[in-house]
């Protein structure tokens, strides 16, 4: 992907894209695509989840989270029900997901940015697994099965230079974009789960979600996140190529 400053200064280009993507996120925040099932009712995952990986992929690890923060805060006013489940902090999972995507896509800082992404993701996954109220241990291990597999794949991809080099130099960039998008949306998912279990549930409902709920979710969220990652990949590859053609300087 060739970098070019184009005719518009990089800062102006980047902030314009921040505004566009944040606006898209806000609009999509009222378009439901998946239900969130809890013992207290049914919420919705909206189409704005697709924009989270795009924030990081297109804007990097700094402006990406900023766009997610802006879009998430404003979008919460349009979808107050979902925001209420996170006590008004529903933007946090999206900010984390955008940050992870930005770190993984940031070629100029490799491998250190990828190391940081792996560490952050590991803290989230293992932190949830060993969160004291999350017992019995086996039940929450079941919930995290895909997260643990992805963590292992991410670690191998980051730590083994031959694999990393092959991916980054691949002539089919959609492979790497998909991997980044999937890791991003999975980071979004585990952050939301951790926040809800540790903060929201005790405050809103006076207790933690029982293990049966997490086991049930364990076979639902992989499908949801796979669909989100595929959609983000298709859109991301098209947008990356379009921006490259008009001379937009990608933050890589």
- Summarised one tens digit per residue, pLDDT across range 32-44 is 887 765 545 556 7
Q: Is residue 20 part of a domain?
A: yes
Judge contact between 9 and 61, C-beta under 8 A: no
The more confidently predicted of residues 169 and 211 is: 211
Q: Which of 38, 226, 46 is nearest to 146 (CA)?
A: 226
Specify the range with the lowest mean pLDDT, choosing from 23-37, 131-145, 184-198: 23-37
Instruction: Answer yes or no: is 252 within a domain.
Output: no
CB atoms near residue 245 (< 10 Å): 10
State the pLDDT at residue 209: 87
Q: Which of 46-55, 154-163, 178-187, 192-201 has the lowest mean pLDDT?
A: 154-163
- pLDDT at position 5 over 70: no
Mean pLDDT over the full length of the chain: 86
> 197 in a domain, yes or no?
yes
pTM: 0.89
Distance CA 198, CA 217 (A): 17
Range of the domain at 206: 10-245
User: Count H helices, E strands: the chain?
Assistant: 12, 2
- Does residue 4 belong to any structural domain of this protein? no
Residue 118's pLDDT is what? Answer: 95
Q: Answer whether residue 1 is part of any domain.
A: no
Is 150 within the bounds of a domain? yes
Domain count, the chain: 1
Query: For residues 147 and 183, what is the distance between their CA atoms, to the nearest angstrom?
Result: 9
Tell me whether residue 39 is in a domain.
yes
- Domain-embedded: residue 194: yes
Decide if 239 contacts 174 (C-beta within 8 A). Answer: no
């Amino acid at each position: 992907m060739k970098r070019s400053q184009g005719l518009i200064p990089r800062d102006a280009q980047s902030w314009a894209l921040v505004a566009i993507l944040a606006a898209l996120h806000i609009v999509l925040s009222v378009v439901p695509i998946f239900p969130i099932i809890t013992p207290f009712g049914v919420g919705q995952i909206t189409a704005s989840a697709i924009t989270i990986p795009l924030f990081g992929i297109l804007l990097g690890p700094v402006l990406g989270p900023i766009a997610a923060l802006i879009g998430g805060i404003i979008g919460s006013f349009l979808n107050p029900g979902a925001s209420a489940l996170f006590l008004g902090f529903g933007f946090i999972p999206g900010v984390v997901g955008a940050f992870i995507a930005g770190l993984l896509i940031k070629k100029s800082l490799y491998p250190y940015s990828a190391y940081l992404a792996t560490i952050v993701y590991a803290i989230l996954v293992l932190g949830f697994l060993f969160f004291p109220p999350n017992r019995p241990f086996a039940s929450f291990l079941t919930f995290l099965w895909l997260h643990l597999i992805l963590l292992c794949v991410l670690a191998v991809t980051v730590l083994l230079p031959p694999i990393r080099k092959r991916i980054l130099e691949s002539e089919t960039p959609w492979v790497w974009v998909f991997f980044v998008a999937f890791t991003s949306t999975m980071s979004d998912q585990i952050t939301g789960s951790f926040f809800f279990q540790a903060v929201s549930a005790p405050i809103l409902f006076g207790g933690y979600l029982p293990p049966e709920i997490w086991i049930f979710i364990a076979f639902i969220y992989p499908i949801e996140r796979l669909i989100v990652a595929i959609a983000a990949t298709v859109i991301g590859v098209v947008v990356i190529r379009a921006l490259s053609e008009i001379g937009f300087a990608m933050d890589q």
